[in-house]
Structure 1
Amino acid sequence: MFDQWCETTVQENGQKQYITIVEKAGGRAAIIDELAETVRSHYDDLERIADDVEELGYEGAAAILKELLPTGIRARAGDLGEILASELTVERLEFEVPVRRMRFKDGREVPMRGDDFIGVNYAADDGGLWLLKGESKSRRTLGGATISEARAALRRDDGRCTPSSLLFVANRLLEGDENQADLGRRIRNEVGRKALARNRIDHALFTMSGNGPIAALLADYNAAEAGRSHAVINLHIADYDDFISEVFEAAGDLGDA
């Protein structure tokens, strides 16, 4: 989706990546339907939505879906940033994001607590578990204070994923099939043992903003600590407010055919 939608520039320095993403001319129009479906899938299972359509028709199914989607600009911006961060993690950073947190919100305008997104990579022939701890910030005008706040969150708990966030992911996986349950068990073990080496917990700072380029974000990238991999990312959306409204309006519209 990102390749069709945006132009991406990557600057690398050792274990660090600085990724800037800007929309292509006509890129948004090309992916808006796919993006809308992606957003829906973060709030509810697409098969369940299809069952709602069969049972209630498009209008009734859309009414249920709209009860899950936030309506306030701040909640929408925060959620969309986390959703896009999760999707980019899968597309570009080679991690899976196995749990879609928005499905577990206890209020559509209420932000989830804990790490904004957690990536998981597991390969038995490569030493086992590898994690990514992610923070997401969405601002019309992104500045240094917000970036510093995100970096402080990444450094918290000695740079490890927050235990409560890891347990949330692990427990959801334990409710799944055999492979998911095995991964959930391994993540719970990490909470108990804290055995992962520093270089097996990557950090990602994803930002979505109406301004760019952002000097403070580049400075954060340059100052990122050694000993682990870092991705520092900015998605620049010039018409920030209109974009967020467009995405959520499209996500809530199931059509009639």
Structure 2
Amino acid sequence: MLYQPWCDKEVEEDAGKQLWRLAEREGGRAAIEAILTTRIRSHYDNLVQIADDVRELGYPGAAAILSERMPRSVRARSGELGEILATELVEEHLDFKVPVRRLRYKDGREMALRGDDFVGLRLDDQANLHFLKGESKSRANLAKATISEAREALSRDDGRPTATSLLFVADRLMEGGGERWDVGRKIRNEVASRAAPPARTSHMLFTMSGNATPQAQLDDLAAAGGNRPHLSAHLRIEDHQAFIRACYERALALGND
């Protein structure tokens, strides 16, 4: 568990829309430091492969490989940590899984991946696929323009996950075979038919910032269409930039944990 020992959560719900306010509790950050470091690494590389690099190359060599996957710029680190923490929140607190760690597949350390920031999947009792289309934003000070940018992305493609994002997930799942192949096949079928109704596609906006939940995020949720479930989550990190810097420094310090 990451969030449970780390943050207090306040939830407001109205007509299929939820607002989550997450705030660090006293001592919470220290309690999850080690697990957060491991989770960050796992989004950039398979932990088994990192361990194999350590055996083959020692800690410095393994760290050198890991550093080639992680961004160095403040902006890129902020955005990618937002995606990581959004994904972890989904899998800890929602019924969706985010089956592909997409940051492992970047074609450049500082390059942002195109498509939806995260896509969650769930199969219901009738084996119908449900989707979670997610956008994450991380800013020292979160403002209205950033919220509007995220909502615009969520609204594209009639509110469905983009075909490019879905096919990327499907391809990665089908490489594994077995049940993952079957889910990938279902995703490809959905892309072909574009038949999933809005009720099977939920939207999630995840934000992380140093300021309190801005009024713009509340207004955005209130204005969101009522034809699908919506979750808007805000994580307040008062020392936002120092927190991000420390997270990546620890993640790259292999051998010190």
User: Counterparts in 2 of 1:157-168, with a 5 A limit?
Assistant: 157-168=157-168
Q: CA offsets per residue over residues 159-202 of structure 1, 9 Å max, x none? A: 01100010000011110131000000000111000111110000
Kindly indicate whether residue 35 of structure 2 is the aligned counterpart of residue 26 of structure 1. Answer: no
User: Counterparts in 2 of 1:194-209, with a 5 A limit?
Assistant: 194-209=194-209
Partner of 1:134: 134
2:84 and 2:178 map into 1 onto residues whose CA distance is 26
1:225 and 1:243 map into 2 onto residues whose CA distance is 34
Q: CA deviation at 1:256?
A: 5.6
Partner of 1:70: 71
Q: Secondary structure at the match of 1:175?
A: helix
Query: TM-score w.r.t. structure 1 length?
Result: 0.97
Q: CA deviation at 1:107?
A: 0.7
1:256 and 1:199 map into 2 onto residues whose CA distance is 46
1:215 and 1:205 map into 2 onto residues whose CA distance is 14
Partner of 2:54: 53
Partner of 2:178: 178
Report the AA paired with residue 38 of structure 1.
R
Q: CA deviation at 1:63?
A: 1.4
Partner of 2:39: 38
Q: Secondary structure at the match of 1:119?
A: strand
2:93 and 2:202 map into 1 onto residues whose CA distance is 14
Gap runs ≥5 in structure 2:
none
Q: CA deviation at 1:213?
A: 2.7
Identity among equivalent positions (%) equals 54
Query: Would the alpha carbon gap of residues 235 and 18 (structure 1) be closer, same or farther in structure 2, given more than 3 Å must change?
Result: same
User: Counterparts in 2 of 1:53-132, with a 5 A limit?
Assistant: 53-123=54-124, 125-132=125-132
Partner of 1:150: 150
Q: CA offsets per residue over residues 110-162 of structure 1, 9 Å max, x none? A: 11110000000013x23511001001111111111110111011111000110
2:15 and 2:55 map into 1 onto residues whose CA distance is 52
Q: CA deviation at 1:211?
A: 0.8
Query: TM-score w.r.t. structure 2 length?
Result: 0.97
What RMSD over aligned residues (CA atoms) do the two structures have, in Å? 1.0
Q: Secondary structure at the match of 2:26?
A: coil
